[in-house]
Amino acid sequence: MRSFDFAAGTAVVTGAASGIGEALAHGLARRGSDLVLLDRDAERLAAVAAAIGAAHPDRQVTTYVVDLADAAATARAAEEIRQRHPRIRLLVNNAGVALGGRFDQVTLAEFSWVIDINFRAVVQLTHALLPTLKAEPGAHLVNISSLFGLIAPPGQTAYSASKFAVRGFTEALRHELADDGVGVTSVHPGGIRTRIAQNARVGSGVSAEEYETGRRQFEKLLSIDPATAAQVILRGVERRRGRVLIGWSAKLPDLLARIAPTSYGRLLAVGLNRAAGDPARRASTVPPQRQPETPAADRAGEPA
C-alpha cells in the first residue's frame, strides 16, 4: 500500500475542540487536508476552526456541533457529512470520555455513557462513512484506542471495556479492508496531557478519599504534549502503520501484558506508584478531577 497522501483530501476528526483532536486538525491542515471537525463544545470548536482558517486560508474547514452520546444526533451528522463531503480520504475517530471507579462503584447508566461515546459512536460513524472511504483511492481509517486498550487496570472497567472493543473492531476492519485499499490504524496513547481526565466522570460509589488519591497520582502521569502525540499518529498514518503506540507509558505496559498476560497488574501497580512518587500506597485508577453531572462528551485524548 502506498504512503498516505494528505494533500487535497478531506479528513474527518471527532473530538476536535481540544487535546489530540485539536492538534491533529492543525497537523492535517499543515499537510494540505481540508477538514470536517466534530465536537460537543461549540465555543472551543469554533475557536479551533478560526485558528486553522487564519493560519491556512486555503483550507476548507467545516464544523459540526454534536454530542456523540446521542445516537440519533450522531446519525444526522454522519448523513449530512456523507452528502456534503463525498470524497473523504481520512476518518479519525478520536473523541472519548473517561469514568473512574470499580465496576461495583458505577451505575449501569454511567457505564453505558462511556460505551456509547467511546465505542458505539466509533462504530456508527465508521459504518456511515465507510462507503465514502472505500470509494476514495488511498483512504485511511484511524481509531483512537488507549493504553487501556492494551491493559486493563482496576478502577477502569468501563473505559477499558470500551477501548478493548475499539481495538478489536479496528483490527478486524484492518483485515476486512485490506483488499479495498483502505488503510486502518489503531492508536494507543499513553499519558497525554489532555482535557479528558479533567472532564471525566467519577462513579457514584467512589469515596472522596479514593477520588483525591487518584487525582494526585494521575496528574503526575500525564506528561506527553498532544502536539507530539498528533505528530506520531500522522506519521503512522503516512506510513500506513497498523498500530501506533505513543510514549513509553504505552510501550512498556504493552510489553508487560505480552510477557505476563495474567499477572501484569502487580508489576503495573508498582510502576504507577513509583511514577507518582508514592511507593507506600497502592495506585488508584480514579481520574484526576471531579466534574459536574453533565461534562463535555467528546473531548479528545487519553487519560492513561
Convert the pLDDT of each residue in 187-229 to its tens digit. Answer: 999 877 666 656 677 888 988 777 667 666 666 667 788 999 9
Residue 8 burial (C-beta neighbours within 10 Å; 0-12, 13-18, 19+): exposed
Residue of 64, 159, 211, 264 marked active site? 159
What are 80-101's pLDDT values in tens digits? 999 999 999 999 999 999 888 9
pLDDT at 272 over 70: no
User: CB of 304 within 8 A of CB of 146?
Assistant: yes
159 labelled catalytic: yes
Amino acid at 271: G
Residue 158 pLDDT: 96
What are 35-65's pLDDT values in tens digits? 999 999 999 999 999 999 999 999 999 999 9
Whether the predicted model's global pTM rises above the 0.75 cut: yes
Among 6-15, 175-184, 285-294, whose mean pLDDT is lowest? 285-294
Q: How far apart are CA 170 and CA 165, in angstroms?
A: 8
Q: What's the CATH code, domain 10-275? A: 3.40.50.720
